[in-house]
């Protein structure tokens, strides 16, 4: 594998871990900041999925959103087909929401659902990346578990 590809994979993994850490902190607040946490978790999933595709040599566009990346990954792992709706929910938080202390209950519940979807999809990706990354030796650190 080309050194520039390995460097990009390492960067995506590192950035996905930073997004997970940011989301974890936001979820510890009282009350939890679900919309902003959903944004960071969605970013983490997007970056982990890019790392997965790059490890497999699958090209993707710079601006590709989560549902498009998931479609590209589905031939490699058909289980991704089950995550299409969750990807659309997560993708709804692809832009950083405005900061708000008070979030309406309905909006909070929708964001909490996006958080749960993103956490589960990230866990699946982390599991799938573990053997791929171990094949690369120490070139790519594995994603941190949730």
Which residue stretches of 34-104 are H helix? 34-55, 66-73, 84-91
Residue 56 CA to residue 73 CA, distance in Å, equals 9
Residue 84 CA to residue 74 CA, distance in Å, equals 10
Residue 139 CA to residue 57 CA, distance in Å, equals 16
**113: CB partners within 8 A, 6+ apart:** 89
Domain spans in the chain, listed from the N-terminal domain onward: 3-139
pLDDT digits (tens, 9 = 90+) for 10-66: 889 889 999 999 999 999 998 899 999 999 999 999 999 999 999 889 999 988 999
Tell me the whole-structure pTM to 2 decimals.
0.88
Q: Is it true that domain 3-139 has CATH number 1.20.120.330? A: yes
């Amino acid at each position: 594998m080309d050194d520039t590809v390995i460097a990009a994979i390492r960067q995506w993994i590192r950035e996905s871990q930073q997004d997970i850490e940011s989301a974890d902190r936001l979820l510890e607040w009282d009350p939890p900041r679900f919309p902003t946490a959903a944004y960071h978790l969605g970013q983490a999933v997007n970056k982990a999925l890019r790392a997965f595709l790059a490890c497999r040599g699958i090209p993707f566009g710079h601006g590709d959103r989560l549902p498009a990346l998931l479609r590209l990954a589905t031939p490699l792992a058909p289980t991704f087909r089950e995550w299409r709706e969750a990807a659309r929910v997560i993708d709804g938080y692809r832009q950083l929401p405005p900061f708000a202390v008070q979030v309406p209950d309905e909006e909070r519940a929708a964001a909490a659902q996006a958080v749960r979807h993103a956490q589960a999809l990230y866990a699946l990706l982390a599991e799938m990346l573990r053997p791929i990354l171990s094949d690369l030796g120490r070139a790519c650190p594995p994603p941190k578990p949730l």
